Amino acid sequence: MNSPTQICRHFGECGGCRFQDLPYQSQLREKESLCRRLQDEAAIETPIRPIIPSPRIFHYRNKMEFSFGEESGETVCGLHRRDRRRSIFPVSECLISSPDTGTIVSAAAAFSRRAGTPAYDPYRHRGFWRNLVIRESKSAGVFMVNLVTSSQGELDREGFLSALGEIPAGDRIASVIHTVNDSPANAVVPEKWAVLRGEPFLEEKISGLTFRIPPFSFFQVNPAIMETFYRELKEFLALGGREKILDVFSGSGTIGLVLAEGAESILGIEIDPEAIVTARFNARLNRKDNLSFRQGQAARVLAENRRLWPGRFDLVIVNPPRSGISKKLARRLLELRPERIVYSSCNPRTFFPQAGLLADLYRPVILQPFDFFPHTPHLEMLAVFQRFDTPELD
């Protein structure tokens, strides 16, 4: 693991894997240095533990989203160029995604060219082909392919299925979805969608648990390191079986399910109603009956229960998006006064400044970075905060 064994043919043109030309140990040192610089700026004295590397540094991602565009007068499917964000270059491989990614993308691009309809122009809001989202269950070795188009054309569904079936990985494409998205936002918005083949989900197995993943749900992109992440989290917390836990930004319930065996009860808060449905299903699937979920915006749900919930929870888990937590949400967390707060952040640039929002009542006792995203500048920071009037962790 000292150095990459290969360099993607798109390196330099693609803006994703900017560290891929560095030996892996150098990548880890860069990420540790970033954390320490941000720590110094935030005046946090708690030592940062050595970063935990990913068990796999190639082909680790379970999801990639590609865009259609026009290149030299023909429709292509690929990624945005690093230096020209409006330009799409065709992708023939992606070394952080599945080895079969390139052939799936190429098959979709070739099919779109044969159809003769233009790619969607996100600036003029005209065209048909928009995105191709590929998900993979690493434990089962199967794919979900989600083709995203506008409504400005007709999809030859049987022709698309046939095109996918002709590639070497065709027999491992377990699910094919067609999503219609006319939103002006340059994102996959599932205004209408249909299953063309298979089931409307994949299943992934991590830490002895089975997680159902619908086409539009968030799920951590590096399952290989999640085994390590969950093991470390459980060791840090050393739950005794009587803890009442609040899981904020609970998503499809993954962290809650992992901790359920060691807790008395877990309540998840999640804004996405589809994620709530999935979380409840995952709890039943794994026979965990001490989890419940409430749908709503986190700060609002906490505000609505500010007279009922202070002192109710021993532990609060916060796993926000890259933007982190707001000042309003931080105030609501402080009102709860749990003994410990776990903050899992995929963006240390927001985490370290926001750690100060908890400083009136809490001190960080564990700062543990994980390399969830080899070859990229990104990482995950797991932090455990202890209330000042409670004993130190062992």
116: left (phi over 0), alpha (psi -120 to 50) or beta: left
- H/E element, 134: strand 129-137
pLDDT at 194: 97
Q: β-strands 142-149, 243-248: how paired?
A: unpaired
Top-tier CATH class for 25-56+222-387: alpha beta
**What is the chain's length?**
394
Span between the terminal Cα atoms of the chain, in Å: 32
DSSP state letters, 245-289: EEEET-TTSHHHHHHGGGEEEEEEEES-HHHHHHHHHHHHHTT--
Name 376's Cβ contacts closer than 8 Å, sequence gap at least 6.
Answer: 16, 17, 18, 19, 96
pLDDT at 392: 62
pLDDT at 390: 76
What is the C-alpha to C-alpha distance for residues 261 and 259, in angstroms, rounded to an integer?
Answer: 6
- The three-class DSSP label of residue 334 is helix
How does pLDDT run across 324-363, given as a tens digit for each residue?
999 999 999 999 999 999 999 999 999 999 999 999 999 9
* Residue burial 125-141, b: 16+ Cβ < 10 Å; e: rest: eebbbbbbbbbbbbeee
What is the C-alpha to C-alpha distance for residues 332 and 349, in angstroms, rounded to an integer?
Answer: 22
Residues of the chain with CATH 2.40.50.1070: 63-199
Q: Please tell me which residue in 8, 14, 94, 346 is annotated as part of the active site.
A: 346
- With CA atoms as reference, report the closest residue to 175 among 148, 140, 124, 215: 215
Question: Which of the four CATH numbers 3.30.420.40, 2.40.128.20, 2.40.50.1070, 2.20.25.90 does domain 63-199 have?
Answer: 2.40.50.1070
Is the Cβ–Cβ distance between 385 and 340 less than 8 Å?
yes
What secondary structure letter does DSSP report for 219? -
Residues of the chain with CATH 3.40.50.150: 25-56+222-387
Is the Cβ–Cβ distance between 362 and 330 less than 8 Å?
no
Please give the model's pTM, rounded to 2 decimal places. 0.92
pLDDT at 86: 80
- The three-class DSSP label of residue 106 is helix
pLDDT at 185: 87
pLDDT at 111: 98
17 is catalytic: no
Question: Which token pair is 337?
Answer: 């006064």
In this structure, which amino acid lies at residue 384? V
Q: What is the CA radius of gyration of the chain?
A: 22
pLDDT in single tens digits along all 394 residues of the chain:
444 456 898 998 898 899 999 999 999 999 999 999 999 999 999 999 999 999 999 999 999 999 999 988 899 999 999 887 788 999 999 999 999 999 999 999 999 999 999 999 999 999 999 999 999 999 999 999 999 999 999 999 999 999 999 999 999 999 999 999 999 988 898 999 999 999 999 999 999 999 999 999 989 999 999 999 999 999 999 999 999 999 999 999 999 999 999 999 999 999 999 999 999 999 999 999 999 999 999 999 999 999 999 999 999 999 999 999 999 999 999 999 999 999 999 999 999 999 999 999 999 999 999 999 999 999 999 999 999 987 665 4
3-state helix, strand, coil in the chain (%, to 5): 30, 30, 45
